[in-house]
Amino acid sequence: MAAVATCDSVAGSTGSAVATASKRNVTSFQKRGPRASGTNDSGPRLVSIAGTRPSVRNGQLLVSTGLPALDQLLGGGLAVGTVLLIEEDKYNIYSPLLFKYFLAEGIVNGHTLLVASAKEDPANILQELPAPLLDDKCKKEFDEDVYNHKTPESNIKMKIAWRYQLLPKMEIGPVSSSRFGHYYDASKRMPQELIEASNWHGFFLPEKISSTLKVEPCSLTPGYTKLLQFIQNIIYEEGFDGSNPQKKQRNILRIGIQNLGSPLWGDDICCAENGGNSHSLTKFLYVLRGLLRTSLSACIITMPTHLIQNKAIIARVTNLSDIVVGLESFIGSERETNPLYKDYHGLIHIRQIPRLNNLICDESDVKDLAFKLKRKLFTIEAGVQWHDLSSLQPRLLGSSNSPTSASLAAGITGAHQHAQLIFVFLLETGFHHVGKAGLELLTSGDSSTSASQSAGITGMSHCARPRALYFKENKSKVGARQLLETREEHLSSRLLILTQAERLCMGRRFFTAFHIFNELPCKGDCICLQTCQTQ
Amino acid sequence: MFVELNNLLNTTPDRAEQGKLTLLCDAKTDGSFLVHHFLSFYLKANCKVCFVALIQSFSHYSIVGQKLGVSLTMARERGQLVFLEGLKSAVDVVFQAQKEPQPLQFLREANAGNLKPLFEFVREALKPVDSGEARWTYPVLLVDDLSVLLSLGMGAVAVLDFIHYCRATVCWELKGNMVVLVHDSGDAEDEENDILLNGLSHQSHLILRAEGLATGFCRDVHGQLRILWRRPSQSTAQRDQSFTYQYKIQDKSVSFFAKGMSPAVL
């Protein structure tokens, strides 16, 4: 077998060693793993841990959320030692999926799991994890590994690699895929043997709370206190905290907490606006953050924020979490029947990205994100593809928050990957300037002004005064300077107001130009340029 | 330390005013770059700094500090910097019973405790040492951020009391400076936070307010900074003057420019 072949002299066995390597993809000449530079200066250099990679931006060790698209949006992944907070959608249909992806990714990479729930038994949650879509090569590898484990030959030491013996073996779990981030098939269950082979701890609140209560160390609700103690125990006993070096191979602890803050946890923030222990949740998060920061662990929390009565608590919770991602499903809302959204199941909002070891953060330029649950995959797509714009116009009326919103309408149209905006101009004259700037009118209507037609404006709405016009950005990007000139021409008599520029997902130049519009003072009558929200 | 910000504030580490309270405030954006600025500013000014860091870990501040040209580790070893790592301290307080009171002792108390231990910690840290010649010019207290104390169950009045005590000791008695950060909760209607912010705005000498752009996210302009001086005896033109600049945060510095004058569009 392969191991025997490598027992020959070094020179003689080179060929066979290469052959072995290519066949099994397990060789002693291993690539050194990612190094965490700077972040963990207390301990020795981090050796490679399966399913992790260092961040390009700040050197933090990252783990995957189990959803490669989300990883990309969060700047590469979830940094070890941070909290990812998922704001649940209204009927809690899609957030458990993200939760399960996170746990499944842990199982595939051989990470230790800690699942906490007040609603379901963690064992049941694990049974329902989605199956990983490993490609065939990985699968074959996996089978071979299992086989090799059983043969006594695998115990023979490979002499060629004597000086590499001290290096840790690359494989940790039975699944040898050390790729970062996997895809999962939501229609299938995780194979039983993978779950059995994994190392996990469950925290089921009804079980824990029935045991005798000790004196509360702090003013947290008993459920939170128990959970904190449980987590701290696991971290300490299994050596995930950097201060006590782990005896065996270093590993990551993935913590998942379901429906935190819901009444099942014994918290009353969902029931009353000013509950007696409204600080329980924030205190819990603070101590949890402290635990995570000093250990090799990452945490995902799903929270029913729409149930929390007091908006101030949500703001505080956001400040105490590192990454906040909100899910907004279309189920039950009027958007479900809106043709604009017919291809999607909801919107995903990236509310907060942490600044770790850095002054800046990796913020994605694309803010319009929608998700869709296909038969097997959960996908996130940038930019909402809006097709038939004319049919949308009445639906969107009144969607902006300006006082004159009745006459304003908006929409986002996606020609390419990015959404394009239709602007509403409230103006009395001077269309041609806009036309010159490269904006093209979409809807057709009253065509009284010949000047506007010659300038490429095809129509306007029938609103009285001020009149509303719908513009679409031309395919040729508008130069910032050109827009500035337009603005100069308008300054004498018109005004430009732009709100919600975050919805603008256009070329950079164009984008910034509008900020100028907004910031410079202008006098007299105004053009009100308003992009409306997608809502 | 961002030189451009120093120019805007018309100050340098060599000639900084003493006995002042600076309020940093952020609304709809992250104002932590201001904390990093003042931390490196006062370390370069050779001040004795007590940094109450409640929101991030030491390594975070240390790595950013390196980018700005100060070494927090060395400053701590020299005794110039006293660093209270709130996250670590909270874990210790909650999980281990300690005999002597910890700065964040109130976490353990069932009823709303007080911030006296924290104040004692600050006073102890900034107490002038008699031995030999003065190594450090003047003491500075830095807090990042006070809103966390509200989240941890302290009332706004307790936090204001704490600041008042600190002002009396640090600003008045020791002729030092204080810099504190508070989030502006904006439309979240966080009453306690509003009380705290208004109370501090009333007391402070200088308010730096970082705001996200009203028009939303922009790649080239990260927000705007409003500078509000509250000098007592100045000509009326200069009093309560407010300046607004837009800024862009870069890897190691922050560039400021007048509104609408971002280099990306000019």
List the CATH number of the domain containing B119.
Answer: 3.40.50.300
Residue B181 and residue B179: Cα distance in Å, rounded?
7
CA end-to-end distance (rounded Å), chain A: 64
Q: Domain for residue B175, yes or no?
A: yes
Query: Other CB atoms closer than 10 Å to residue A139's CB: what's the count?
Result: 14
Query: Other CB atoms closer than 10 Å to residue A165's CB: what's the count?
Result: 10
Element (H, E) at A436: helix A431-436
For tokens 């993935």, name the residue.
A254
Residue A521 at interface with chain B, using a CB cutoff of 8 Å:
no
Residue B67 at interface with chain A, using a CB cutoff of 8 Å:
yes
**Among all residues of chain B, which has the CA nearest to that of A226?**
B95
- Report pLDDT for B159: 95
Residue B57 at interface with chain A, using a CB cutoff of 8 Å:
yes
How many A/B residue pairs have CB atoms within 8 Å? 165
Flag if B214 and A499 touch (Cβ within 8 Å).
yes
Lowest mean pLDDT among A252-266, A376-390, A496-510: A496-510
Residue B155, φ and ψ in degrees, nearest 5: -80, 160
The 3-state DSSP class for residue A34 equals: coil
Q: Domain for residue B84, yes or no?
A: yes
pLDDT at A466 over 80: no
pLDDT at A405 over 80: no
Q: Domain for residue A280, yes or no?
A: yes
A 97-156: CB under 8 A from B = none
Q: Domain for residue B145, yes or no?
A: yes
Optimal mutation site among A295, A400, A484, A519, interface B, most CBs of chain B within 10 A: A519
Residue A499 at interface with chain B, using a CB cutoff of 8 Å:
yes
Q: Please report, to the nearest 10 degrees, the dihedral formed by the alpha carbons of residues A158, A161, A162, A163 taken in order.
A: -160
- Over pLDDT 70: what percentage of chain B? 93
**Rounded mean pLDDT, A174-199:** 80
Residue A109 and residue A251: Cα distance in Å, rounded?
10
Q: How confident is the model at residue A173 (pLDDT cuts 50, 70, 90)?
A: very low
Residue B161 and residue B163: Cα distance in Å, rounded?
5
Residue A126 and residue A120: Cα distance in Å, rounded?
10
pLDDT at A512 over 70: no
Q: Domain for residue A265, yes or no?
A: yes
What is the domain extent for residue B175?
16-197
The 3-state DSSP class for residue A58 equals: coil
List CB contacts of B225: < 8 A, sequence separation 6 or more: B208, B209, B210, B211, B244, B245, B246, B247, B256
Residue B161 to chain A, least CA–CA distance (Å):
20
- Report pLDDT for B240: 56
Element (H, E) at A255: strand A253-257
Ordered DSSP codes for B169-180: IIIIIS--EEEE
Q: How confident is the model at residue A292 (pLDDT cuts 50, 70, 90)?
A: very high
pLDDT at A151 over 50: no
Highest mean pLDDT: which range of A53-62, A379-388, A494-503, B66-75: B66-75
Residue B191 at interface with chain A, using a CB cutoff of 8 Å:
yes
Q: How confident is the model at residue B178 (pLDDT cuts 50, 70, 90)?
A: very high
Residue A519 and residue B4: Cα distance in Å, rounded?
21
What confidence tens digit (pLDDT) does each residue in A196-242 have? 999 999 999 988 876 555 555 557 888 898 999 999 999 988 888 76
Q: How confident is the model at residue A365 (pLDDT cuts 50, 70, 90)?
A: confident
B 225-254: CB under 8 A from A = 246, 249-252, 254
Q: How confident is the model at residue B187 (pLDDT cuts 50, 70, 90)?
A: confident
Residue B193 at interface with chain A, using a CB cutoff of 8 Å:
yes
What confidence tens digit (pLDDT) does each residue in A80-91 have? 999 999 999 999
**Residue A511 or B45, more confident:** B45
For tokens 């008042």, name the residue.
B164
What confidence tens digit (pLDDT) does each residue in B129-176 have? 876 566 889 999 999 989 999 999 899 999 999 999 999 999 999 999
The 3-state DSSP class for residue A139 equals: helix
Flag if B188 and A516 touch (Cβ within 8 Å).
no
Mean pLDDT of the residues in chain A: 65
Residue A81 backbone zone (phi > 0: left; psi -120 to 50: alpha; other: beta): left
Q: How confident is the model at residue A368 (pLDDT cuts 50, 70, 90)?
A: confident
Residue B115 and residue B122: Cα distance in Å, rounded?
11
The 3-state DSSP class for residue A342 equals: coil
Q: How confident is the model at residue A458 (pLDDT cuts 50, 70, 90)?
A: very low
List CB contacts of A484: < 8 A, sequence separation 6 or more: A513, A516, B265
Q: Domain for residue B245, yes or no?
A: no
Q: Domain for residue B208, yes or no?
A: no
- Report pLDDT for B105: 87
Flag if A38 and B59 touch (Cβ within 8 Å).
yes
State which amino acid sits at residue B139: P
Residue B61 and residue B195: Cα distance in Å, rounded?
28
- Report pLDDT for B266: 76
Residue B194 and residue A477: Cα distance in Å, rounded?
43
Residue B130 and residue B116: Cα distance in Å, rounded?
25
Cβ-contact A516, B265 below 8 angstroms: yes
- Report pLDDT for A407: 26
Q: Domain for residue B192, yes or no?
A: yes
Optimal mutation site among B262, B265, B266, interface A, most CBs of chain A within 10 A: B265
| CATH number assigned to the domain comprising residue A133 | 3.40.50.300
Optimal mutation site among B26, B35, B36, B60, interface A, most CBs of chain A within 10 A: B60
Residue A515 to chain B, least CA–CA distance (Å):
7
Q: Domain for residue A529, yes or no?
A: no
Query: Per the structure, how many domains does chain A have?
Result: 1
The 3-state DSSP class for residue A452 equals: helix
Flag if B63 and A58 touch (Cβ within 8 Å).
yes
What confidence tens digit (pLDDT) does each residue in B192-247 have? 999 999 999 999 999 999 999 988 888 889 999 999 988 765 555 555 566 899 99
**Among all residues of chain B, which has the CA nearest to that of A480?**
B265
Residue A431, φ and ψ in degrees, nearest 5: -60, -35
**Rounded mean pLDDT, A481-501:** 40
**Residue A418 or B128, more confident:** B128
**Rounded mean pLDDT, B124-133:** 79
**Rounded mean pLDDT, A71-83:** 91
Closest residue to A312, CB basis, from B107, B185, B250: B185
pLDDT at B77 over 70: yes
**Among all residues of chain B, which has the CA nearest to that of A225?**
B94
Residue A309 to chain B, least CA–CA distance (Å):
11
Closest CA to B178 of B147, B138, B150, B148: B138
Element (H, E) at B126: helix B116-126
- Report pLDDT for A213: 55
Q: Domain for residue A109, yes or no?
A: yes
- Report pLDDT for B40: 96
Highest mean pLDDT: which range of A132-146, A200-214, A424-438, B245-259: B245-259
- Over pLDDT 90: what percentage of chain A? 25
Tell me the ipTM for this assembly. 0.95
Q: Domain for residue B28, yes or no?
A: yes
**Among all residues of chain A, which has the CA nearest to that of B224?**
A519
Residue B130 and residue A510: Cα distance in Å, rounded?
61
What is the domain extent for residue A89?
80-144+179-315
Query: Per the structure, how many domains does chain B have?
Result: 1
**Residue A139 or B14, more confident:** B14
Residue A528 and residue A408: Cα distance in Å, rounded?
10
- Report pLDDT for A302: 96
Residue A449 and residue A361: Cα distance in Å, rounded?
48
Cβ-contact A282, A317 below 8 angstroms: yes
- Report pLDDT for B234: 57
What confidence tens digit (pLDDT) does each residue in B234-263 have? 555 555 566 899 999 998 999 999 988 888
**Rounded mean pLDDT, A296-322:** 92
